Amino acid sequence: MTPSSAKVQLDHLRRLAYIYVRQSDPMQVRQHHESTLRQYDLQARARSLGWVPEQIVVLDEDLGRSATDLTVTRSGFQKLLTEVALGRVGAIFNLEVSRLARQDSEWHRLVEVATLTGVLLIDEHQVYDPRLPDDRLMLGLKGLLSSNETRQMGLRLWQNKLRKAQRGELAIPLPIGLVFDPVQGIRQDPDEQVRAAVSLLFERFRLSGHISGVVHYFQAQSLQFPKRARGAWQDGPVVWGPLTCQRVHAALHNPLYAGAYVYGRITHRAEAKPLDRLQQRFVRLAPTAWPVVLWDAFPGYISRSEYEANQTWLQAHRWQQQLSGRRQDGPALLSGMALCGRCGRRLHPCYSGAQNQHVTYVCDQQQRRYAQATCQRIPGQGVDQAVATAVLAALTPAQVELSLAILDEMERQQATLRQQWALRLDGVHYASRLAQRRYEQVDPENRLVARTLEREWEAALQQVAQLEAEFAHQQETSPLSLDLGQRQQLLALAQDLSTVWQAETTSWPESL
């Protein structure tokens, strides 16, 4: 093999020497400083081989960027490859030449372009000239070994995590309402207010059957929902805020709330990605592709059967939305339930009018799919009225039992709502007392600290006053308990269902 010093020719020294500095991720950059310093010290090796400082370029744009992830763009490497192709580079320095690229395609492209333009590849110990057969063979072997090492190491790490997850011991991100206990493992959050809020979410979906209904209830009752602070994980601080449809949707789709230990719902491994989504960094897998699912691994908020029923309902609702392209909520009584008497297909409601008060049941699936004529259109008012009459006639013999059941359900929901407000009030009162204790424990002479703690105490007292005012307003607009007169009124209304049903304030969805 040609001596290293003899491979560096005058033509190489006339061109630039690039010091390519890179590390795989930001954590390595923060914690492994020695590797970064060694890469910067390659400038001394470049000077020892004959390059002057003005011709040495340090390229460190790719620090903290992985070379194995196809979705990560390494701008520094692309710039280096461009400079090599233009013939401006005489040599590329790196701690280990095979670390210049982790993808086979990038490595072979770099070596090929370096061969055409006569660029040397130099590490701490060797100088490689890709135009020489022996050096070209050695570079090929190094690239092959590096690529195989990367794949084997990734596979070993994945298999180790998988084995640990199959035992239910791997730490996984937990949604709000679940925490990890070193002794008991995964368990429900010990904070009663957090548990009550999560339980209420599933209860309201059980009653309304609509994600928007859950959000509307929380908004109407001035209730908030917890979440972890941004960037926090597991034991991070809890932040309370308005409930959104996205959060309800995510909770309903999360099997951990059903007591299932699940690992691998989201993957970044290329082997597990569908071909049409290979370029995406993370891919959400279908439940049948989850590598680990352990049911009844810990106490959940809902049962497995309820979780599976929710998934079936959500999938059917999603299919209906995609099929019809029209709003599914409205005054129609039989939305999603009426079938066509001619073809047996499902009718969907079509709304018209300034406030969508006019309903027409339409069967036009064949028209939208195959450009055929509409099967039929039926005015909704007559249909809804006929069904309402039949329902009232069927319920008349059981009005007493129904009235008692309605009253019990109303009281149960009111008790749940009272509990939510009581927990919120307990929380702000505790924060106020804590701020007071902190203020009282400080030395009064230390005004620098005392003034800050005094302001925090005042802010806590303002939160108490604000929440108590909201609670009082809520009591005025929608009392959280039923007195004797309200109970008798509800019983009378329940025994006269036709009056309740035909009231202007009762919508068709509420009737059902």
Q: Can you give the residue ranges of every domain in the chain?
A: 4-163, 178-351
Separation of alpha carbons 311 and 331, rounded Å: 25
What was the pLDDT predicted at 129?
92
Longest Cα–Cα distance in the chain: 105
What was the pLDDT predicted at 144?
82
Q: Give the H or E element holding residue 241.
A: strand 238-241
| Residues 435-457: tens digit of each pLDDT | 888 877 877 777 777 788 888 88
> Does the pTM exceed 0.85?
no
| Residues 478-509: tens digit of each pLDDT | 655 556 665 566 556 555 555 555 555 555 44
Task: Report which DSSP code applies to 346.
Answer: B
Categorize the per-residue pLDDT at 324 as very low, low, confident or very high, splitting at 50, 70 and 90. very low
Categorize the per-residue pLDDT at 121 as very low, low, confident or very high, splitting at 50, 70 and 90. very high
Domain 4-163 fold is Rossmann fold (3.40.50)
- Look at residue 327 and tell me whether its pLDDT is greater than 50: no
Checking DSSP bridges between strand 89-93 and strand 16-23, what pairing results, if any?
parallel
> Who contacts 251 (Cβ-Cβ below 8 Å, separation ≥6)?
175, 198, 201, 202, 257
Alpha helix (H) ranges present in 55-210? 75-85, 104-117, 133-166, 192-208
Domain 178-351 fold is Hect, E3 ligase catalytic domain fold (3.90.1750)
**Would you say 508 and 332 are in contact if contact means Cβ atoms under 8 Å apart?**
yes
- Look at residue 316 and tell me whether its pLDDT is greater than 80: no
Tokens of 156: 């070993």
| Residues 328-360: tens digit of each pLDDT | 456 677 776 788 888 888 888 888 877 777 888
Cα angle, residue 342 at apex, residues 338 and 348 outer, rounded to 5°: 30
Alpha helix (H) ranges present in 326-446? 365-370, 380-395, 399-441
Mean pLDDT of 358-366: 83
Count the Cβ atoms, other than its own, within 10 Å of residue 225: 22
Which active-site residues does the annotation give? 24
For the chain, how far is it from start to end, CA to CA, in angstroms? 87
- Mapping DSSP onto H, E and C, the string for 133-148 reads HHHHHHHHHHHHHHHH
- Look at residue 15 and tell me whether its pLDDT is greater than 90: yes
Separation of alpha carbons 246 and 210, rounded Å: 13
Separation of alpha carbons 506 and 186, rounded Å: 44
What is the CB-side half-sphere exposure of residue 316 using CA atoms within 13 A? 11
Residue 157 carries which side chain, given as an amino acid letter?
Answer: L
What was the pLDDT predicted at 487?
58
